[in-house]
Copies of this chain bind each other. A is one copy, B any other.
Amino acid sequence: NRIVTLPGDGIGPEVTAAAVAVLKEVAPNLVFEEHLLGGAAIEATGEPFPQATQDALKGADAVLLGTVGGPQNSPWNSLPRHLRPESGLLQLRKLLGVYANLRPVRVQPGLEHLSPLKPELARGVDILIVRELLGGIYFDQDRKIDGDTAYNTMRYTTPEVERIAKVAFWAAEQRRGRVTSVDKANVLEVSELWRRDVTALQQRDYPRLHLNHEYVDSVAMLIVSDPSRYDVIVTENLFGDILSDLAAVIPGSLGLMPSASLGDGPGLFEPIHGSAPDIAGQGIANPAAAIMSAAMLLRHGLELPHAAAKIDGAVSQALKSHPTRDIGGTAGTEAFTDAVLKALG
């Protein structure tokens, strides 16, 4: 199997190297091919998603991404929109056709104290956020800034809603069987369509699953005040961007949060934390999220659930034996990765 790695910017290269080391340990037959994306690609080629990277994706079995983007004051951020690092990421998602972003939010037993929430609220939280990743206001062509006025369009079609809802129902079948669909149907027509189509699909094909609908503002409250009420949350692109980042703070460190983006071709796997330019190159970044993303790659990208579970177990152990700085310990990137490798071996 051929894996394309895109280490990207900031701490991306460090955490990606850690994840690759772990993958090599559990799946020695994988072949890795490294390419440029984001700021690193801009420096080398002038473009955030160069042709060579695009070509390399053809025939790949999965893509392992580090992080993309520079510091706030980076010159990359003053480039025209389509040449900025984030634009490379959006183009990559589009080219791969990964319409379903899966973000598990799990509080590791024994690590409740890391949460900004009271431990009794954080304990046992286990949510899967399913975010639509290729539609809505992010990609709609009807957008413009012109003098004193600007607009973007939040548009969805029934096929787009159905394909993401299917992913949520499929995931719920393997979990606790409950799906919360999030919208703003009391105000938006696009949410009315969303709610109608999700409901129809559930009644037709998933009658045994439990589906409810909540407004995005209400979910923003309840995910903090009562996170245990959620199993699978499914929502559109922009709401999903906000809610998945919000939910990601519950476990207490972004360094613990992996993600998978799936479509009909190769999947894209990446830690959700940013490029953290302030600590890049110091060997102190927590690679746990990248390593857990590698586990998602094995599970969802290559259908190797057994190897994936081994990695997740080893990460849990290493978090206890060699905690990194973001979770109150002292282990650096290398020491943590070694601990994971040892736990695997």
Contacts and interface: CB of A to CB of B under 8 A. Distances in A.
Interface string A132-146: 000001101011110
Given A86-B186, A90-B187, A148 B157 contact: yes
Contacts of A156: 149-151
Nearest to A162: B148
Interface string A235-272: 00011011111101100001000000000000000000
B150 A190 contact: yes
Interface residues of A, number: 54
A158 to B, nearest CB: 4
A246 B245 contact: no
Interface stretch (A40-48, A56-64, A170-178, A212-220): A212-220
Interface in A23-53: none
A157 B147 CA distance: 9
Interface stretch (A14-22, A116-124, A284-292, A313-321): A116-124
Copies in the complex: 2
A1 B306 CA distance: 73
Given A84-B186, A186-B86, A249-B225, A151 B154 contact: yes
A103 B177 CA distance: 37
A145 B192 CA distance: 8
A285 to B, nearest CB: 18
Given A116-B118, A152-B153, A220-B243, 4 more contacts: A140-B151, A144-B189, A145-B193, A149-B157
